[in-house]
């Protein structure tokens, strides 16, 4: 861990996903000196698992000036893809580096590649030669098998499973416990419902659900 003052970390968001990240930061020794920003003013001055919620995003520039070096986008909700990308880009534009967070109970193959800002949470598995894009959430117990590709800003929800060679686009949500069969492609901004079993490619912005998964609507902008 870098010394406090240069590698101090900013969590952007103070909700349920932020609590998961804060817990992992404590476990990997990155909580020291970290602070949290949230849009809800009534949270300012309180704490998130011991991390001070110091204000809103307007503080990003001044925190950078105070020697904070890294950030994580700590917003995970399905409606938040565009927001996650905007927050990521704003922090990078201010000269902050996107940290990579690996829970100590995760398993990541030596040959796997984790993108800046990616978050590999408890019991998640990233297997050989998989590539994980920027700002991706691999949530609790998710499985990304060998040779998979997960595009930027996507969220693989708890216990979802991508079989070998699956390619996930950008800003995709794979729901809790969903299964994507091998070598399939899931298009940008598609949504796969919880528990779905996907046995054919999913086009961009499609919303699919069921066993086997079928299209139910299109995902909104």
Count of residues touching ligand JB3 (by CB under 6 A): 19
Active site includes 173? Answer: no
Query: Active-site residue among 17, 146, 155, 173?
Result: 146
CB atoms within 10 A of CB 42: 8
* Minimum distance from residue 84 beta carbon to ligand JB3 (Å): 9
Q: Does 156 bind ligand JB3 (CB under 6 A)?
A: no
* Minimum distance from residue 110 beta carbon to ligand JB3 (Å): 27
* Minimum distance from residue 17 beta carbon to ligand JB3 (Å): 4
Q: Which stretch binds ligand JB3 (CB under 6 A): 7-15, 21-29, 104-112, 124-132?
A: 7-15
* Minimum distance from residue 87 beta carbon to ligand JB3 (Å): 6
Q: Of 77 and 115, which CB lies nearer to ligand JB3 in the complex structure?
A: 77
Q: Of 133 and 158, which CB lies nearer to ligand JB3 in the complex structure?
A: 158
CB atoms within 10 A of CB 132: 27
| Residues 123, 126: Cα–Cα separation, whole Å | 10
Residues 15-74 interacting with ligand JB3 (rule: CB under 6 A): 15-18, 37-40, 57
Q: Does 139 bind ligand JB3 (CB under 6 A)?
A: yes
Instruction: Return residues touching ligand JB3 (CB under 6 A).
Output: 12-18, 37-40, 57, 75-77, 80, 83, 139, 158
The catalytic site residues sit at 146
């Amino acid at each position: 861990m870098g010394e406090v003052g240069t590698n101090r970390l900013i969590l952007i968001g103070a909700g349920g996903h932020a609590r998961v990240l804060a817990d992992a930061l404590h476990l990997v020794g990155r909580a020291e000196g970290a602070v949290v920003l949230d849009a809800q003013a009534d949270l300012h001055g309180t704490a998130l698992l011991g991390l001070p919620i110091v204000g809103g995003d307007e503080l990003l520039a001044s925190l950078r000036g105070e020697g904070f070096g890294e950030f994580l986008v700590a917003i995970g909700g399905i409606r938040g893809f565009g927001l996650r990308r905007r927050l990521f880009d704003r922090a990078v534009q201010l000269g902050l580096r996107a940290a990579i967070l690996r829970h100590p109970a995760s398993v990541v193959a030596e040959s796997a590649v984790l993108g800046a800002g990616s978050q590999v949470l408890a019991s998640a598995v990233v297997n050989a030669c998989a590539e994980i894009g920027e700002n991706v959430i691999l949530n609790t117990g998710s499985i990304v098998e060998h040779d998979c590709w997960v595009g930027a800003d996507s969220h693989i929800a708890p216990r979802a499973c991508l079989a070998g060679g699956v390619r996930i686009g950008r800003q995709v949500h794979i729901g809790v416990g969903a299964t994507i069969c091998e070598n399939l492609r899931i298009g940008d901004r598609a949504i796969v419902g919880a528990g779905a079993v996907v046995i054919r490619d999913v086009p961009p912005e499609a919303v699919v659900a069921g066993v086997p998964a079928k299209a139910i609507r299109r995902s909104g902008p």
